[in-house]
Structure 1
Amino acid sequence: MKYGIVAFPTKPVQDEINSYRKRYDPHYALVPPHLTLKEEFEANDQKIEELVTELKHIANQTDPIAISINKVSTFAPVTNTIYLKVEPTQQLYDLSDNMHTEKFPGERTYSFVPHITIAQELTDDEYSDVYGSISMKDIQIRDTIDRFNLVYQLDNGIWTVYETFVFGKEYV
């Protein structure tokens, strides 16, 4: 089964981000706005139980992370993906790095770039129009991430939460 590890912003922030995504992101209905900490990987039930234990340990040692979004950026020319840039912090890098040790399956495909996708799979013309329009907007979003989620993909392509890990909570 396919799994991933993400952090969801708070509901008001998700609503704001979805105002862009519903028009420009074909994955809008498949997964809420999120910050990917570990991209998708395959694992069986036994491996997931081991990972849950490790993820509880990581959450125990993590403090809430203040995030700031004030810029639209893009992965062009590699892909026509447009995203909200989450200002990088050492806490975010450390959190992602903790999920890329030998205990976790799957290798990094890309360097960790803290972001929340708002548009993807655009044609070149759509990309130019959308990026030109959105990049002129004054975006000032502040939020606090206080948990991350192990998610899995259903047969219909929708991603759903397997388990949530709250920062600083003492798991047994």
Structure 2
Amino acid sequence: MSTLKYGIAIFPSKEIQDLANSYRKRYDPRYNKIPPHITLKERFEATKEEINDFTSELEKIAKEIEPFDIEIKKVSSFSPVTNTVYLKVEPNESLTTLNKRMNEGKLPKSQQFAFVPHITISQELSEDEHSDVYGSMRMLEFDLKDHIDRFQLLYQLEDGSWTVYETFKLGN
């Protein structure tokens, strides 16, 4: 029985994706594998049968959470754990609840790190590159707002890129 790799993410508005991509083109080697996103659930493996169970669970979760707004005001970094620079999504109860629900019930508990809502703009850089990029970007201020009304279940293709398996609209 073959398994695929899945993940759950929110794709922000085109405006935010374009901004993130303006940096990702230069600083993210996975730029062409997936659009800018907020990871709700890290990658996990599942069979076709398991995914059918999970999708009904995800439909239930989506109905419980009303659409909500997010804000991005600055850049941050996961250094020294990883040399990742990201657009920091301000903490938000709806996002936190979504992430928590994604690791309960039938869904696999696959969370390695504490949930920090973010949109990656650089990763896999050397120490020096990371220092330069983060150094020049951490002074920037943003005033980005977005309305979130859905999340996506994604799966990974053989070339390492990700594609949408199903979209779940929030609220009723």
TM-score, normalised on structure 1?
A: 0.95
Could you tell me whether the CA contact under 8 Å between 2:12 and 2:148 is conserved in 1? Answer: yes
Q: CA deviation at 1:139?
A: 1.6
2:9 aligned with 1:12: no
Cα distance in structure 2, aligned partners of 1:75 and 1:34? 16
Could you tell me whether the CA contact under 8 Å between 1:4 and 1:39 is conserved in 2? Answer: yes
2:86 aligned with 1:83: yes
Q: CA deviation at 1:54?
A: 0.6
How large is the Cα RMSD of the aligned pairs?
Answer: 0.9
Match of 1:53 in 2: 56
Match of 1:161 in 2: 164
Which of 18, 23, 27 in structure 2 is aligned with 1:24?
A: 27
Instruction: Name the count of aligned residue pairs.
Output: 169
Q: CA deviation at 1:138?
A: 2.1
**Structure 2: gaps (5+ residues):** none
SS at match of 2:26: helix
TM-score, normalised on structure 2?
A: 0.95
Could you tell me whether the CA contact under 8 Å between 2:43 and 2:110 is conserved in 1? Answer: no
Which of 118, 124, 127 in structure 1 is aligned with 2:127?
A: 124
SS at match of 1:43: strand
**Percent identical residues:** 56
Amino acid at match of 1:125: D
> Residue by residue, what CA displacement relative to the aligned partner does 1:86-143 show, whole Å, maximum 9, x if unpaired?
0011111101101001411242100101111100001011011101111122222111
Could you tell me whether the CA contact under 8 Å between 2:10 and 2:152 is conserved in 1? Answer: yes
Amino acid at match of 1:39: E
**Structure 1: gaps (5+ residues):** none
Cα distance in structure 2, aligned partners of 1:36 and 1:88? 14
